[in-house]
């Protein structure tokens, strides 16, 4: 275990922070599964935080002039360069501490919130550079699996078979033709100290991972599953149901990678069929039984790979109670 985490006790339902870094009254869609993990992350980080947001839904819904939903210092930057701007902020904090203008022991969290388009695609090069240089910041990818803010176009995070406006389902081509990019694999290959997946249907797990990321010295990355009723064609009231099914069907496993060691946080021994997850989303309604079986096979294979990675290090796989 890293020394920064030795005394980490974590959040529980009995000791949740009252602090709210993201105010109510924002303009997110009803049932938005992206704004919830953003709010949970800021609760975990507390007021001593500087946030950077790439262009995307969360920037649009939170900052219609002259209003803002941010209760922490916040800067909106372009699609591609949020990781670089966060790197600059972190470097400036270090310089101010050297000059005695900030308390040297005072921890100021620098956190990026960016969507899948700004992370998987447009900003990947910039993120890679920041991770390689070892900047001490947290990068949180709020992944709703397409460019939702600009009209539901496919991204590198769009899953196989999904209908989007640029991967439409027709008679010949049945939606998205490639598999979701393995972003966690790319990030872990940079040998950063901490990376994790998280899901708003498991809020305590999400908040604890954000807190761990803040405690660890060096770059940290959290890949957050984020439902989008508008782009996915789900019922607003089903956002957390869909999110929970993503874990229970093994589509989106919950795990951490600490110093290269894989730890599965919620092992799913008896998964539900992937079809239960797909049938709640209009973007998959065109899929044939053969295509669903094909997706099921791929999900099984990817989960087996994850199990083997965790077994390599002999790390315990902890079970969590439903939150």
Question: 304 lies in a domain?
Answer: yes
Question: 249 lies in a domain?
Answer: yes
Question: 184 lies in a domain?
Answer: yes
Burial class (CB in 10 A: 0-12, 13-18, 19+), 14: exposed
Nearest in space to 265 (alpha carbons), one of 188, 209, 185, 200: 209
Nearest in space to 248 (alpha carbons), one of 224, 219, 275, 285: 275
φ, ψ (nearest 5 deg) of residue 115: -80, 180
For the chain, the domain total comes to 1
**Cα angle vertex 214, ends 268, 198, to 5°?**
25
Question: 214 lies in a domain?
Answer: yes
**Tokens describing residue 11:** 């959040």
pLDDT at 318: 55
Go through 200-226 and write b for each residue having 16 or more CB atoms within 10 A of its CB, e for each that does not. Answer: bbbbbbbbbbbbbbbbbebbbbbbbbb
CA distance 220 to 215: 10
pTM, entire model: 0.96
Give the 3-state secondary structure percentages of the chain, helix then strand then coil, rounded to 5. Answer: 35, 15, 45
Question: 8 lies in a domain?
Answer: no
Domain extent at residue 104 = 15-313
pLDDT at 159: 98
Q: Which residue has 């040998």 as its token pair?
A: 191
Rg (CA), the chain: 19
Full DSSP string of 65-123: TT---BSS-EEEE-SS-HHHHHHHHHHHHHHHHHTTSS-TT---EEEEEEEHIIIIITT
pLDDT at 313: 80
pLDDT at 104: 82
pLDDT at 323: 56
Question: 320 lies in a domain?
Answer: no
Query: What does each of the 323 residues of the chain score in pLDDT, given as a tens digit?
Result: 788 999 899 999 999 999 999 999 899 999 999 999 999 999 999 999 999 999 999 999 999 999 999 999 999 999 999 999 999 999 999 999 999 999 888 899 999 999 999 999 999 999 999 999 999 999 999 999 999 999 999 999 999 999 999 999 999 999 999 999 999 999 999 999 999 999 999 999 999 999 999 999 999 999 999 999 999 999 999 999 999 999 999 999 999 999 999 999 999 999 999 999 999 999 999 999 999 999 999 999 999 999 999 999 875 555 555 55
Q: Which CATH number fits the domain that encloses residue 198?
A: 3.40.50.970
Question: 7 lies in a domain?
Answer: no
pLDDT at 321: 53
pLDDT at 106: 86
Question: 152 lies in a domain?
Answer: yes
């Amino acid at each position: 275990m890293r020394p920064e985490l030795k005394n980490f006790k974590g959040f529980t339902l009995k000791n949740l922070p009252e602090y709210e870094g993201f105010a109510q009254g924002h303009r997110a869609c009803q049932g938005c599964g992206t704004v919830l993990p953003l709010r949970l992350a800021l609760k975990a980080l507390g007021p001593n935080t500087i946030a950077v947001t790439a262009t995307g839904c969360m920037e649009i819904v939170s900052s219609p002039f002259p209003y803002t939903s941010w209760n922490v210092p916040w800067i909106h930057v372009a699609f591609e360069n949020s990781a670089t701007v966060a790197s600059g902020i972190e470097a400036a904090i270090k310089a101010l501490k050297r000059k005695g203008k900030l308390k040297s022991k005072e921890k100021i969290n620098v956190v990026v919130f960016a969507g899948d388009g700004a992370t998987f695609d447009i900003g990947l090069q910039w993120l890679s550079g920041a991770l390689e240089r070892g900047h001490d910041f947290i990068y949180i990818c709020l992944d709703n699996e397409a460019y939702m803010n600009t009209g539901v176009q496919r991204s590198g995070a769009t899953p196989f078979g999904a209908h989007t406006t640029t991967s439409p389902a027709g008679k010949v081509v049945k939606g998205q033709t490639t598999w979701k990019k393995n972003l966690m694999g790319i990030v872990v290959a940079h040998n950063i100290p901490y990376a994790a997946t998280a899901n708003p249907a498991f809020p305590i797990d999400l908040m604890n991972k954000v807190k761990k990321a803040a405690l660890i010295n060096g770059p940290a990355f959290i890949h957050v599953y984020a439902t989008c009723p508008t782009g996915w064609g789900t019922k607003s009231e089903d956002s957390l149901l869909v999110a929970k099914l993503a874990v229970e069907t093994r589509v989106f496993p919950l795990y951490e990678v600490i110093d290269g060691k894989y730890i599965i946080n919620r092992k799913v021994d008896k998964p539900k069929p992937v079809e239960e997850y797909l049938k709640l989303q209009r973007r998959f309604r065109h899929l044939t039984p053969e295509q669903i079986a094909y997706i099921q096979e791929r999900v099984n294979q990817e989960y087996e790979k994850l199990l083997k990675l965790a077994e390599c290090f002999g790390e315990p796989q902890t079970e969590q109670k439903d939150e």
